[in-house]
Amino acid sequence: MKEFEFLKAELDKMKENKTWQQMKQIETKQGPSVEVKGENVIQLSSNNYLGLTSHPRLVEAAKRAAEEFGAGTGSVRTIAGTFTMHNELEKKLANFKKTEAALVFQSGFTTNQGVLSSILTKEDIVISDELNHASIIDGIRLTKADKKVYRHVDMDDLERVLKKSMNYRMRLIVTDGVFSMDGNIAPLPDIVKLAEAYDAFVMVDDAHASGVLGKNGRGTVNHFGLDGRVHIQVGTLSKAIGVLGGYAAGSQVLIDYLRHKGRPFLFSTSHPPAVTAACIEAIDVLLEEPEHMEKLWENTAYFKDKLVQMGLTLTKSETPIVPILIGEEEKAQALSDLLLTRGVFAQSIVYPTVAQGKARIRTIITAEHTKEELDRALEVIRSAAKELQLV
């Protein structure tokens, strides 16, 4: 059979410039430590901020739902795949986000695709932060709207673009709430002020902020006291919430529209009962067990402090995302490999996920890490960084 020679050539090139990666295989459940190749390693690379992936209440809810309602739903939402629990979760999410309504998609990725592709027309302009997540970029690509990118969190640049965009039906500003590769928070109060001054709409993707920032983890909008002033809040159920899925929250008009026009919502099967039931339970856990979020921030402060004391360079993170900047792809991969052999799972992030020459080890602290685990990880990082002459 004919081989994809042109694809192979590209893969070979990736191996050469060290952007080719082997996926690490986890042999136990996700948690503060996991087994990789039969060895116990401290997990510093998951998005399991609050440890909810294996919280007993979520697991129990999933089991019960599978037993009572089955393994799958057998249809898309709009035909025969809407169960009572799907609507219940959406009501809960709207309450949680303090909006009129919410709609669940299969993932955060498809939420951005569904929202952006359905509401933007050629009469509109979408104005996007240059470091927005790939799913926002791809969502924008699906539209006929004019597109402008403003420099990362640069409000003067955003205002410059807004000034030139007054003749469109809609100006839509889109930003990540927390930027996933650096851990900084979007300057949402300034963005909202500009939006109000220039009669624009605001969409915030809080994938890394839900469960992390705001009261009980309501996200950046609530964190900044901007409830009711942001038109579209996108969230994921796959990170701090610990399960799978994405959602858009906003006005009833917006949600009714998405329910009729959001293509991933319309043309892809609804979540299995176990997924939806676990998500419902997760929201209750956020409301009833604030101690996980408190522990998350306590662990983060401790871990960051110690890394800085070691002389490592971190990004200007304001969240539990703690990226250690390395620069060269090869060095970042070498450090990540060395850490793994010594019991620390800390994935290197290289081009194209981040810019070329800005490779990093991205660690994410979770509420479940014990002080003993953090200290052990810190000691391994210190000795490995020294050995590779990074400090």
Ligand X SMILES: *Cc1c(COP(=O)(O)O)cnc(C)c1O
Q: Which residues contact ligand X by CB under 6 A?
A: 107-109, 112, 133, 135, 176, 180, 205, 207-208, 236, 238, 246
**Rounded least distance, CB 319 to ligand X, Å:** 12
The total number of residues shown for the chain amounts to: 391
Residue among 238 and 299 whose Cβ is closer to ligand X: 238
Catalytic residue among 18, 97, 223, 239: 239
Residue among 68 and 267 whose Cβ is closer to ligand X: 267
Give every CB contact of residue 29 below 8 A, 6+ residues apart in sequence: 53, 54
Is 180 one of the annotated active-site residues of the chain?
A: yes
Contact 135, 112 (CB under 8 A): yes
Residue among 77 and 133 whose Cβ is closer to ligand X: 133
Distance between first and last Cα of the chain: 51
**Rounded least distance, CB 63 to ligand X, Å:** 22
Question: Three-state SS across the chain?
Answer: CCCCHHHHHHHHHHHHCCCCCCCCCECCCCCCEEEECCEEEEECCCCCCCCHHHCHHHHHHHHHHHHHHCCCCCCECCCCCCCHHHHHHHHHHHHHHCCCEEEEECCHHHHHHHHHHHHCCCCCEEEEECCCCHHHHHHHHCCCCEEEEECCCCHHHHHHHHHCCCCCCCEEEEEECECCCCCCECCHHHHHHHHHHCCCEEEEECCCCCCCCCHHHCCHHHHCCCCCCCCEEEEECCCCCCCCCEEEEECHHHHHHHHHHCHHHHHCECCCHHHHHHHHHHHHHHHHCCHHHHHHHHHHHHHHHHHHHHCCCECCCCCCEEEEEEECHHHHHHHHHHHHHCCEECCEECCCCCCCCCEEEEEECCCCCCHHHHHHHHHHHHHHHHHCCCC
Catalytic residue among 208, 223, 231, 369: 208
**Rounded least distance, CB 6 to ligand X, Å:** 29
Residue among 153 and 374 whose Cβ is closer to ligand X: 153
Residue among 90 and 176 whose Cβ is closer to ligand X: 176
Residue among 342 and 360 whose Cβ is closer to ligand X: 360
Of 115, 138, 118, 140, which is closest to residue 127 (Cα–Cα)?
140
Q: Is the peptide bond before 56 cis (omega within 30 degrees of 0)?
A: no
The pair of structure tokens assigned to 335 is 């450090």
**Rounded least distance, CB 208 to ligand X, Å:** 5
**Rounded least distance, CB 312 to ligand X, Å:** 23
Catalytic residue among 46, 128, 180, 210: 180
Residue among 116 and 378 whose Cβ is closer to ligand X: 116
**Rounded least distance, CB 176 to ligand X, Å:** 5
Of 380, 366, 361, which is closest to residue 306 (Cα–Cα)?
380
Is 15 one of the annotated active-site residues of the chain?
A: no
Residue whose CB is nearest to ligand X in the complex, by number:
108
**Rounded least distance, CB 246 to ligand X, Å:** 5
**Rounded least distance, CB 104 to ligand X, Å:** 11
Is 371 one of the annotated active-site residues of the chain?
A: no
Residue among 219 and 334 whose Cβ is closer to ligand X: 219
Catalytic residues: 180, 208, 239
